[in-house]
Amino acid sequence: MGKPLIHLPDLKKGLFIGDPELRSKYQERLVHYTSFIKKACRQNGDLVYINEEDPIDFLAQTFACIESSVSVLLGSSQWGSSEIQGVRKYANFTFGSEDLEVIEQVSFTLPKDSNPSIIFKTGGSSGKIQFACHTMESLTSAADSLALFLQKEDRVEALIKKEDSQVCFDYQGVEEHGFMNQWAMSSLITLPLHHVSGFMPIIRAIVSGGEVFFESFKKLKELCPKTVRNLWLSLVPTQLKELCGDASSLRILGEFRGIFMGGASMSEKVVSLCIEKQLPIYPCYGMTETAAMVSLMPKKQFLLEQRGVGYPLPGVRISLVKDGLISIESKSLFRGYLGACSFKKPRVPFVTEDMGTFAQDKSLILRGKKNQLINTGGEKVDPQEVMEVMERIFNRSLCVFSIEDARWGEKVVAVFEGNPFTEDSMAWKLQECKKILSQYKIPKSYKYVDKFPLLPSKKINFQKLKNLFAEEANGSF
């Protein structure tokens, strides 16, 4: 692929912002914040913490820094003490009302080169809070790959090569240049901009000549269907599940050009409804460290009931290594984590904590996380496997995980969403589960919640679910 180019005048004009009034506001604020930067910051030396909630001010602050060759750490005013503690280790400044405010003088310095860092908080595939450093080059490379894949999605299966445990996109015969201006990616953004999934639609619009529009998730169902027909949308499964319960929301979802679905697996019930309603769902796999998705399932395959998270994007090589862990090579890989007193570069290829397999058609299927495997009485349990079986039999959303147990070391437990089952119904359904799952894989305890608690990222808050078992009060299976 040709190296994507970002021209700074494009950032100044804000042509990627669809609403003319917001674009004008962005231009004005960009000039305002750039004056702050020039007074206080050193090029390629300082790090500015962005925690603005207004999306236009957030983008103006971010690109004022990037344009001035100053690195940024993208954050939120809603962050808790653990995140703020990390910010204070690395960032020199944050934006105040009239000037840059000093956070504190830190001795930490980023690598000195011509590419300022754009830094995202990440739990990575391991779940531990870290700060991952990208550049405009890595972010635009990711956008570049996605645009090319989508242009070729009707024949993508023919362009995928599999060699042993590796799968990649075959460039032979594929035009590599000149496609960006012919295939604009415009998006509606409902996710927070300090998340890579909320920020990447901005980059996709910039490099492809598209536009972005902003709306809160809660107001999605109020939109006019005609206004979203050429737009892309990114959701996580908990959001999709909520929208699927509302008829007007379903009508609007059906009008989007496409819906990128990442973050976790979808329930069978939601998948069936999406297929029935012919929603343009594109299941995908990626993380902060890869600048969002590195694999994508075309909507055609999804609607034909093909499962998994699709095929590698152009420029991405996905391999399976020891224990089935997913390994990734890509130009969109981050360049390292912020460390305690140094910059930690990642090993390439980047080995995740996610486990997977390849289907016969070469698509990637996720099998959960290595660090989520449960060791109960010496037996290994994959909670993803248990959840898929039980969800199908119980026809109910549930979460399967473990809690500490004096006898077993770890005990398999489950939380169902919705009203409790009757005793007879539970007994019959469990017998059906035992026809498929080994006895040690069956959860030993269970709870019920009206709705799963969510994190700000809209992913399920497993810690709150674990807290339900602090004092065992429910029955055992």
Nearest alpha carbon to residue 264 among 295, 286, 296, 231: 286
Domain interval for residue 388: 373-467
148 and 234 fall within a common domain: yes
Instruction: Output the CA–CA distances (angstroms, integers) from residue 127 to 124, 280, 338, 460, in the order listed.
Output: 6, 30, 16, 13
Average of per-residue pLDDT values in the chain: 86
Residue 426: is its pLDDT beyond 50? yes
Q: Which residues contact 417 (CB under 8 A, 6 or more apart)?
A: 396, 397, 398, 448, 449, 450, 451, 452
Residue 343: is its pLDDT beyond 80? no
DSSP 99: S
Q: Rounded to two decimals, what is the model's pTM?
A: 0.83
Q: Which residue has the tokens 């959701």?
A: 235
Q: Which of 93, 120, 135 is the last residue of a domain?
A: 135
291 and 156 fall within a common domain: yes
- What's at 440, amino acid-wise? Y
Residue 213: is its pLDDT beyond 90? yes
31 and 180 fall within a common domain: no
240 and 177 fall within a common domain: yes
Asked if residue 115 is part of any domain, the answer here is yes
CA–CA gap between residue 237 and residue 232 (Å, rounded): 16
121 and 190 fall within a common domain: no
205 and 89 fall within a common domain: no
177 in helix, strand or coil?
Answer: coil
Determine the distance from the C-alpha atom of residue 396 to the mean position of all C-alpha atoms in its chain, rounded to a whole number. Answer: 25
Q: Which of 284-288, 336-340, 460-464 has the lowest mean pLDDT?
A: 336-340
Residue 474: is its pLDDT beyond 50? no
55 and 16 fall within a common domain: yes
Q: Which residues contact 18 (CB under 8 A, 6 or more apart)?
A: 186, 211, 212, 213
Asked if residue 1 is part of any domain, the answer here is no
CATH at residue 381: 3.30.300.30
The pLDDT value recorded for residue 126 is 47
149 and 116 fall within a common domain: no
162 and 75 fall within a common domain: no
230 and 114 fall within a common domain: no
145 and 106 fall within a common domain: no
The pLDDT value recorded for residue 4 is 39
Asked if residue 3 is part of any domain, the answer here is no
CATH at residue 13: 3.40.50.980
Asked if residue 411 is part of any domain, the answer here is yes
CATH at residue 159: 3.40.50.12780
Residue 180: is its pLDDT beyond 60? no
- pLDDT, mean of residues 404-426: 91
Q: Which of 125-129, 193-197, 204-208 has the lowest mean pLDDT?
A: 125-129
98 and 179 fall within a common domain: no
> What is the number of domains present in the chain?
3
* pLDDT 10s digits, 307-335: 899 999 999 999 999 888 999 999 999 99
Asked if residue 345 is part of any domain, the answer here is no
Residue 78 vs residue 176, higher pLDDT:
78
Q: Which of 338, 367, 396 is the last residue of a domain?
A: 367
- pLDDT, mean of residues 73-79: 89
Nearest alpha carbon to residue 367 among 381, 352, 384: 384
The pLDDT value recorded for residue 263 is 66
